[in-house]
Amino acid sequence: MAHILTNSPIGLIGRWLSGGRLFQPTEKRQGFELPPPYKDAAGGRNTPLDYSDSPETKKEIRAQGDSISADSSQTHSPSSQPGLEQQESQRSPWIEPTITPDGAIQVDWYSDQDPDNPHNWSFAAKLLVYIEVNLFTFIVYMSVAIFAAAEGEFMTVFGVSRSVSVLGMSTYVLGYGTGPMIWSPLSEIPSIGRNPPYVISITIFLILSIPTALVNNVPGFMVLRFLQGFFGSPGLATGGASIADVTGLVQLPYGLYVWGLCSIAGPAIAPVISGFSVPVKGWHWSMWEVLWAAAGCFVFLIFLPETSGPAILHLRAKHLRELTGNPSFQSQSEIKVKNVSPMQVVYDALIIPWKIHALDPAILFSTVYIGLVYAIFYSYFEVLPIVYIDVYKMNLGELGLIFLASVVATALVLPLLLFVHSLLPKRGLSQGCIPSARKAAHSRPFWKFDCACWAIYVCVDLASINSLDSTDYRSAHRGSRHDAGPPVHIQLYCRRLYAL
C-alpha cells in the first residue's frame, strides 16, 4: 500500500526531505525495467498510428472489425478450442503504446493489472480514499449548519435582526456554491490533478477558521464565512470524482451513495454538536468546533493519494523522460495540448463549464433543481426552531436531534438503491426490456432518472399529511411532526442522487 502514497502530500514531502530515497515512483525504483512494448516503441520498431478520419480509413477499420468478429466466432467453435488456448498463452500481458504520426509515444497503463491504476488498488487503499474524501465532505457540510444554534445569541450580542444573523449560513453556502466553478475544473487538468486543490483549499480553510472563531464584528464575520465556504468547496465538488477514480462503473452508484450520505449527515449532525455547547460556551464555540474538525481533516488529507488517472499518467511520462532521456514519451494530455496555448487550456477548463451550464437545457435544469433542493433543505434550519422552540419549548440541543431524521431517511434509501441498480436491471435483462447494469451507463444513461421523477409522488404525499403548515399545530403531538421529516428527505435525496 505504501506505493500509492508516492504522489500524496506526505509522499512528496518525504521524497524531498530524503533526497529522493523515500516514496520513489515506479519508474525510479531500483530494478525497474521499461516494458518491452515501450522499448520497441522507443527503438522505432512500432508503426505510428494514423489519426486521419478519412472515409477510406473508416471503411478499412470497419472491414478489419468485421474480419476480427468472423475470426472470433470461429475461434469459439469446439474444433478451434486448442488454438484459442494457445493464443491465450502467447498473448502479451503488456498494453501496446500508441505512437502518433509525429513520433510521440503515448504513455498509458503498462498492463490491465498496473498497480498504479487507481482501479487496481487494494481494498485498504481504496478505503483510505473513501474515508478521507468523505471526511472532508462531512466537515465542510457540517460547517454550514453548525452556526444555526448560534444565531440567537449572535442576534443578542451584536443587536442585529434575524435576517442578518441568517447570513452566517447564507454567505457560507454562497461561497461553496461559487467555488466549484473554479476548483473543480482545475482538478481536471492533468498537470494539476486532484490533490493540489484539496490540499491548498483545506490549508486555507484551516487558516481562515482561526480569525472566524475570534472575530467580533458582523461584516468581518460574514466575509470570513464566505471565504470559508469558497475554500471548502473542493470537498463538495470534486469528492464524487475522487470516488469515481477508484470505483468501477457497476459499483459507482454505491460509492456515490456513501458520499451523499456524508453530505447529508454533516448538516444533520452539526446542530447536535453545537446545540449543547453554544448555550454554555457562547456563539464563538461553534466556530472553534469548525477549527478543530478542519485541523483533523488536514492531517488526514496529507495522506490522500493522487487518484486522477490522467494526472498519474502525466507524471509517469515525466518520469520516463527523466529515466530514458527520450522526449518522445508523452501523456495523452500533453499530446492534446502540444499546439495549444496555456490561455486556451485555462479557457477550456474554467469558461467552457460555465457555457455548458448556460446552454445545455438538461444540465441547466439539473443545476437549478439541485439548487432548489439545497434551498429547501437549509430552510429547515430556520423553520424548525419556530415550531420546536417557540411552540414545543425544546432547547437547542433537543432541537438538533430532530435533524437526525435526515440521516435515518438517507439510510432508508439504501434498499431502494439496491433495487434500482442491482435487482431491477437483472430482472429487466431477463425480460429484454432494461439493459444490464454494466451496459446501462452506455446504452441508456438516463433510465435511472425515471426513478428520481417517481420519488416525488411517493414521498411528498406522505409528508403532506403531517406538514408543518397544519392549521392547529399547537394541539398536535410533536411526534407527528417528526414523521413528516424522513419522507421529505427520502424524496430530496433520491432526486438529487439520480440527477447527479
pLDDT tens for 430-470 read: 544 444 444 444 444 455 555 555 555 444 544 444 455 44
Same domain, 345 and 394: no
Closest of 211, 495, 239 to residue 369, by C-alpha: 495
Same domain, 141 and 217: yes
**Are 53 and 35 a contacting pair, CB within 8 Å?**
no
Same domain, 373 and 239: no
Same domain, 224 and 305: yes
Lowest mean pLDDT among 113-127, 303-317, 418-432: 418-432
Q: Which of 352, 373, 388 is the last residue of a domain?
A: 352
> Has residue 162 been placed in a domain?
yes
Containing H/E element for 175?
helix 167-178
pLDDT tens for 302-336 read: 999 999 999 999 999 999 998 888 888 998 888 88
Same domain, 207 and 120: yes
Between residues 348 and 164, the one the model is more confident about: 164
Percent of the chain with pLDDT over 70: 74
**Are 126 and 246 a contacting pair, CB within 8 Å?**
yes
**Are 406 and 396 a contacting pair, CB within 8 Å?**
no
> Rounded CA gap, 400 and 64, in Å?
65
Query: Nearest-5° angle of CA 231, CA 233, CA 234?
Result: 95
Q: Give the count of alpha carbons within 13 A of 480, CB side only.
A: 14
Same domain, 225 and 119: yes
pLDDT band at 395 (very low <50, low <70, confident <90, very high): confident
Question: How high is the pLDDT of residue 347?
Answer: 81
Residue 221: pLDDT over 80: yes
Same domain, 186 and 321: yes
- Rounded to 10 degrees, the C-alpha dihedral 208/178/180/487 comes to 100
Same domain, 255 and 381: no
> Has residue 154 been placed in a domain?
yes
> Has residue 24 been placed in a domain?
no
Same domain, 348 and 372: no
Residue 479: pLDDT over 70: no
Output the nine-digit C-alpha cell for 257. Answer: 451513495
Q: Which domain holds residue 490?
A: 360-500
Question: How high is the pLDDT of residue 79?
Answer: 44
Question: How high is the pLDDT of residue 313?
Answer: 92
Same domain, 341 and 380: no
CATH of the domain at 113: 1.20.1250.20
Q: Which of 315, 333, 352 is the last residue of a domain?
A: 352
> Has residue 82 been placed in a domain?
no
Same domain, 269 and 373: no
pLDDT band at 180 (very low <50, low <70, confident <90, very high): confident
Residue 129: pLDDT over 90: yes
> Has residue 455 been placed in a domain?
yes
Same domain, 253 and 378: no
Q: Is the dihedral of CA 171, 173, 175, 178 positive or negative?
A: negative
> Has residue 276 been placed in a domain?
yes
Question: From its phi and psi, is residue 444 left (phi > 0), alpha (psi between -120 and 50) or beta?
Answer: beta
Q: Other CB atoms closer than 10 Å to residue 104's CB: what's the count?
A: 22
> Has residue 118 been placed in a domain?
yes
Q: How many domains does the chain have?
A: 2
Q: Which of 352, 383, 408 is the last residue of a domain?
A: 352
pLDDT tens for 34-70 read: 888 888 887 765 544 444 344 443 444 344 444 434 4
Residue 404: pLDDT over 80: yes
pLDDT band at 139 (very low <50, low <70, confident <90, very high): very high
> Has residue 297 been placed in a domain?
yes
